[in-house]
Structure 1
């Protein structure tokens, strides 16, 4: 491919030049990339060079051009790269990579510590960012055409003194924002590990040590429910909606310091594309509303400078999905609240960006910065996946936003969405994901898993708010919700726990068909088929009103719990998170509230606790033991 074409593509990717914001230019440039393949192996282990869409390899970085750039260097502070070799691994961002002639030898800065994620029973993803240090000590980056080389090792020893369970090297470069994502393999199931990165060219330059773990084997003989996690309850910490300008990410730090969480679950809105003023609390976001790859990378970079978020990534593996704001507000399969691919939609966007361009940039940056796997090689954009955690549980992560969601409420069409909300052919997930979800639930029951925990973005339970409904949640896709409930009831699938974020408030409910008080008894919970735990935001403003006091929020909650049969607890003032502590007999949910997010602190308290017993398919009564420290319970709290 001619160098001039490649250089303009890099301008699009890194600078987001306005003349390359439109699909006709982008498609032309992508077509120019289609034929190039390299045949060597170094850099293969870095998972951030391939196309975000596995069935569209033309969206990969042009590895031949990058390799040519690496091998044509002279008169720079470099190291011979020939000694650094690793085993072949089919990476996220492209095929094989030629062994570069040179690597950067002037030192690296691990700017964003380390992270890990998507653990399996014998492998886990490890992540870091390694930026070359300028030899003159200035803040200016050195020659960015030279790749950096990082090594990793993973061990059961916290001081890394034991022989590594796995190790290797990989290159990174400015093409992927200096990120590196590698898979550590050959690990023992259900085991805590420690890992560290270093500079290949100078082993004295090291990253902080990270903590991660593998999952127990899904095999019933080696990991029965009572032996998972060494026989101790497994704890998941659940988060959503972390807006940088709205406050400090204290919930992450509180969870990492003050709970025994084994795995962190993020249900989406990890970043926000919007601006807004956070200057009064020292949280002014950089840049503009997000549109280009540069924009999304810059925002992810800034979010990860929060000390609590960085600490939480360093000390536990994460399992994540996206919501809408990782791309833009109220995203669905063909647009967002302020952009789509029509001529009007592109011009309507405050950035001038069309929807497909924004989505491609957002997905690429997300896969660069997040320790998440590519799920399958033949399905673009798929992030929905399932984790079998011994015989204790299946953790199923859905995408109810980006994958194939039918049109949602984008503010100017609310009346229209009201007229179609109950149509039988409307889907939140798309037919492929929906059928996969039902099959996953059934297979989980068939394999004998005790619990089925479903991580997804939006509130599942019907919430009648004085005659209005959130049409951007499951209330806008009522037939799809009915199909999920029907599958659970008809197939007698028990112990299902649905998680939700997005709403910026806390909601705890029994799962039943809305308004079906004949089958379901709100007082005792009889007739329910599961429970829903929906959590508030890490920082984003309350759905009850920005800065609302606990007393004012409780007044609204009292109306809601009285009107909605399934809803057992509502709380709308505090920001925070919740944990699920799971063993073979019980699932305990603990909600945590942060007292103040206007500055960095670890000041929080338990606002409510809930118990679900194996086989009961409802919240144990009295709900929350009959008392909570914040929010409102239903008035009727009969004893079990």
Structure 2
């Protein structure tokens, strides 16, 4: 299993509790003497992530009062020693690994256990204990052996879960599918202060700018039972977008220029809280205001996931960060959305890949998306359209490397899209060279709206766009050596908890054929909005991004 080593050293030697040995990295004297909380400390659930053939990361964070304003989750300044165990059966009659990990206050009482010595391509269950308290049970899976070709991989991906704009029923439906792997593409939480009215439920506290605030916000999201179910259902592979820190941030530049003084301190706080609350390996541990999230995960010979970060290293958005017409600056070869080091890493990964499918897990719209008909182009400066030289170098890189099946996985825009990628978007008749699958949001934007396939007006002058839908949901895939089966899963509403999911559209991408084949079309049984109204709603959503 390949995971790119961090380009930075760790913040401290004891930042992550590890299962390499039964003893924690820092002596547990205080932990052994600390009284066990009287109330349940496992209110935030459990999670696993970054699966390798023989190990996986197990996560939990102790909190008896998750919404405490100081970000401590109701915990004291004492450390606590947890016991963990992994079993090959749900009832834990066959425990295959166990150990101890210390939850320390300086790390938000979070633990990241590297459970080693597991068998490749196997399903496992795990849990934690603290005194008489037992955590919920999580289900996880190791990746196949490096040279194995598994018959299939079920993978779901999601993004954009705004607490205030709906219930996380889509996470529950995703969990019900019991995928092998969940990929989360960012906007896991939103930084905004609680709205005064007009929301389904309300953020606790002001806009997040401090470590205490980010810890509190992550904890609030983690209290949601549907999100907890999704984490407990499968290992996650995560990356962030903008709202984990600040809307539309770019490198050291905040959304509002007046907030630039002190922004790096805010960035450091957000990164630290993100790491504390995600099932990530040591290589992703932050050092100050830097944190390397781009990394590579191999699923046998079937698939390679190139997880990317298009926020931390990007040039500032050109011509503002909204939509602009014929922005010359956007095409500058000096501009980058990945940074030079990450771009080199990605191109090297293409040249080395022998996988049947190469999947780029990243944040923002990759294909060209022109919202105005005519010779001029009006595109979003926040997506790859604002960094066209970067996009061309990445696209040329997978073409030159002979990547067999490149697929870009995208979030951010709160709507489902399916696109064929071109080497030259000015030549719409040219061959397609890859595929982009874009997931809608879990809740961001509220209930959304349905539309008939092919009715979205922009498709007339963006013929590489094959599908668009503004209902909430996620994308579920089944990847085999011969094809990638893609289901765009949608919910009719998110303002009330418990909505059921249905497949709005299903496409197949065949091996060595980077085109989208529609095999299923299931319109929702509601009154449809006019295309003009749907476009207006989509534009309003994207103005909020």
TM range (shorter): 0.7 to 0.9
Tell me the secondary structure at the aligned position of residue 309 of structure 1.
helix
Q: TM-score, normalised to structure 1's length?
A: 0.73
Which position in structure 2 is the counterpart of 1:71? none
Q: What does the per-residue CA deviation read over 1:40-74, in whole Å, with 9 as the maximum and x for residues that have no partner?
A: xxxxxxxxxxxx9953637988x9xxxxxxxxxxx
Equivalent in the alignment of 1:323: 241
Structure 1 stretch 454-463 or stretch 563-572: which is displaced more?
A: 563-572
Q: Does the 8 A contact of 1:250 with 1:602 survive in 2? A: yes
Match of 1:356 among 264, 267, 270: 264
- Give the 3 Å change call, closer, same or farther, for CA 415–179 of structure 1 in structure 2: same
What does 1:458-469 align with in structure 2 at a 5 Å threshold? 458-466=364-372, 467-469=377-379
Give the Cα separation in 1 of the matches to 2:272 and 2:421. 36
- Residues 155, 166 of structure 1: 8 Å contact kept: yes
Distance 1:86 1:103, change over 3 A: farther
Quickly say closer, same or farther: Cα 1:330–1:249, change in 2 above 3 A: same
**Equivalent residue for 1:240, pick from 131, 154, 159:** 159
Secondary structure of the corresponding residue to residue 41 of structure 2: strand
State how far apart, in whole Å, the 2-side matches of 1:166 and 1:305 are: 28
Q: CA RMSD in A?
A: 3.0
Gaps of 5+ in 2: 1-5, 66-71, 530-545
Distance 1:304 1:373 in 2: 19
Partner of 1:148: 80
- Asked whether the equivalents of residues 448 and 493 of structure 2 are also in contact (C-alpha less than 8 Å), the reply is no
Distance in 2 of aligned mates of 1:53 and 1:115:
26
Following superposition of structure 1 onto structure 2, how do residues 283-302 of structure 1 map, counting pairs within 5 Å?
A: 283-302=201-220
- How do 1:119-158 residues align onto structure 2 when only pairs under 5 Å count? 119-131=51-63, 144-158=76-90
Q: Does 1:535 align with 2:439?
A: yes
Find the partner of 2:469 among 559, 565, 571: 571
The structure-2 alpha-carbon separation of the partners of 1:151 and 1:59, relative to structure 1 and needing over 3 Å to count, comes to closer
Change beyond 3 A, Cα 1:558–1:566: same
User: Which ranges of structure 1 fall in alignment gaps of 5 or more residues?
Assistant: 1-51, 64-84, 134-139, 347-352, 521-526, 633-640
Query: Hey, what's the Cα distance between the residues in 1 that align with 2:238 and 2:396?
Result: 27
Shift of 1:517: 2.9
What pairs with 1:37-48 in structure 2 (closer than 5 Å)? Answer: none
Equivalent residue in structure 2 for 1:113, among 45, 49, 56:
45
Shift in alpha-carbon separation, 1:237–1:58, aligned structure 2, 3 A: closer
In 1: Cα distance, 2:7 partner to 2:105 partner: 20
What's the offset of the Cα at 1:559?
A: 1.4
2:83/2:101 contact within 8 Å kept: yes
**What is the match of residue 383 of structure 2?**
473
Aligned-residue offset at 1:86 = 7.3
The residue that corresponds to 1:30 in the other structure is none
Q: 1:625 is matched with which residue: 519, 526, 538?
A: 519
Higher radius of gyration, 1 or 2: 1
Q: CA deviation at 1:487?
A: 1.5
Matched, 1:440 2:349: yes
1:222-241 to structure 2, matched below 5 A, reads 223=148, 225=149, 228=150, 231=151, 233-241=152-160
2:404 is the alignment partner of 1:494: yes
Q: 2:119: which partner in 1?
A: 188
Q: 236, 241, 249: which one pairs with 2:168?
A: 249
Show the 5 A alignment for 1:36-185. Answer: 54-55=8-9, 57=11, 88=21, 96-97=26-27, 99-100=29-30, 102-107=33-38, 109-131=41-63, 144-162=76-94, 164-185=95-116
Q: 1:396 aligns with which of 306, 318, 321?
A: 306
1:87-127 Cα offsets, whole Å, 9 max, x none, are 55998xxx644643622245452111211111111011111
* Preserved CA contact (<8 Å) 1:494 1:617: no
Distance 2:193 2:319 in 1: 19
Q: What do residues 172-225 of structure 1 show as CA deviations (whole Å, max 9, x unaligned)?
A: 1332222222111110000000011111xx3x421111111100011x2xx1x2
Q: Give the 3-state SS of the residue equivalent to 2:291 in structure 1.
A: coil
CA distance in 1, matches of 2:207, 2:145: 43
Cα offsets for 1:401-429 (capped at 9, x unmatched)? 12x11111595787799331000111111
Distance 2:193 2:284 in 1: 34
TM-score normalised by structure 2 residue count: 0.86
- Work out the CA distance in 2 between the residues paired with 1:578 and 1:513: 25
